[in-house]
Amino acid sequence: LNEQLFPGDSTKKVNEDQLLAGLLGTLKNEKLAIDKAEAGPFVENKIKEAQESHLREQYKDSIAAGDAFMADNAKREGVVTLPSGLQYEIVKEGSGAVPTDTDQVKVHYHGTLINGTVFDSSVDRGEPAVFGVTQVIPGWTEALKLMPVGSKWKLYIPYNLAYGAQERQAIKPFSNLIFDVELIDIEKK
């Protein structure tokens, strides 16, 4: 349990007395500190928080590099920074409709890490992708709902609007992402 809660940190330990008291109290049907229905989600949340905290420490240099990149990028002419932290620049302004949450979109995209490593590209595959506006990372959803059809934008997505602490193949936890996105069409669901 210590390894699950505090992976790689042998200095942190679960309070065994509290754990044992909780287990015995459950077996004896005693009144617990929290409701049984809340216990599972509470413990899961605590485990997730501990794991994310450990990952933040492990990837602190990457987080700092991403933050510095976004700060420098925000100073560039033509880069728009939204309150969420999402940044974009308009490469080509479209004149079509703007997608909503209920739409599906057809797009071409090219995704890289801030160091230029390509992790995914419909352009390289030679075939546009189709997906729901809300079925993608939050940074994409936010940008798509601002883009008219026919637009080409470059998105600079902070990790909290991308995959956060999750690892996705070539994308390490807390990675900021860059996408070249062309919104080709809107397809109603």
Active site residues: 109, 119-120, 137, 163, 179
Q: Is the dihedral of CA 75, 81, 84, 90 positive or negative?
A: negative
Instruction: Tell me the two tokens of residue 106.
Output: 């057809």
Tell me the three state secondary structure of residue 189. Answer: coil
Adjacent-strand bridge partners of 129: 107
Contacts of 144 (CB under 8 A, 6+ apart): 99, 105, 107, 133, 136, 181, 183
If one counts every other C-beta atom within 10 angstroms of the C-beta of residue 150, the result is: 15
Instruction: Tell me the two tokens of residue 30.
Output: 């005693």
Contacts of 82 (CB under 8 A, 6+ apart): 88, 142
If one counts every other C-beta atom within 10 angstroms of the C-beta of residue 76, the result is: 10
Instruction: Tell me the two tokens of residue 56.
Output: 């933040």
